[in-house]
Amino acid sequence: MKKLKYFDREKYKNEVHVLETKVKAYNEFLKIADRLFKGSKSMDDLVKSVNAATGFLNPRMSADALNILDEFNRCIQLEAVWSGINHSALELVGNEYKIKGEHLQELEEIYKVYYPEDQAKQIKSIEKAVEILNALDMPFRASLQYNPVKQLWLWAKQHTDNNIAVRGR
């Protein structure tokens, strides 16, 4: 039995945002790279294709000679954003990559902290006790007291009897 203690929503949102930014950059890179040279899926593919088209060894010179330097530089910028992306966290939907739902669930689980099982059982017991106590009539609820010296909950029966007698008149 797992009982959630804390979920670090901000860290989770930040990590998802970073991953979404990488995916967006990767999708943009793929569109530009495919437009320049069909089938280019990485910067290495693009560099090989650009150099093969001109016979030069310097990809920037090749891109400039092919009049695609701006697009090539944009691909370099985008690669800096998406490099290190976890491709196993992505799925192809239509013609764009999206983050898998399972991966988002795994990320969410990373930022959750659970109570140990013994504490979770005690919390469940407290919740049941509070529910039972809150269902009592007011004179009975009002007669419950906490003794901090003995660290015990006590029932002041006389207080209950007096409240019942006063309300009963």
Q: Within a 10 A sphere around the Cβ of 46, how many other Cβ atoms?
A: 25
Structure-token pair, residue 133: 């106590």
Q: Which is it for the CA torsion 104, 108, 110, 111, positive or negative?
A: positive
Is it the case that residue 18 has pLDDT exceeding 60? yes
Amino acid at 20: E
Mean pLDDT check: name the lowest of 4-8, 141-145, 158-162.
Answer: 158-162
Is it the case that residue 104 has pLDDT exceeding 60? yes
pLDDT > 70: what percent of the chain? 96
**pLDDT given for residue 143 in this prediction:** 83
Amino acid at 127: E
Dmax over CA atoms of the chain, in Å, equals: 106
- pTM check: above 0.85: no
Q: Please give the average per-residue pLDDT across 156-168, as a whole number.
A: 71
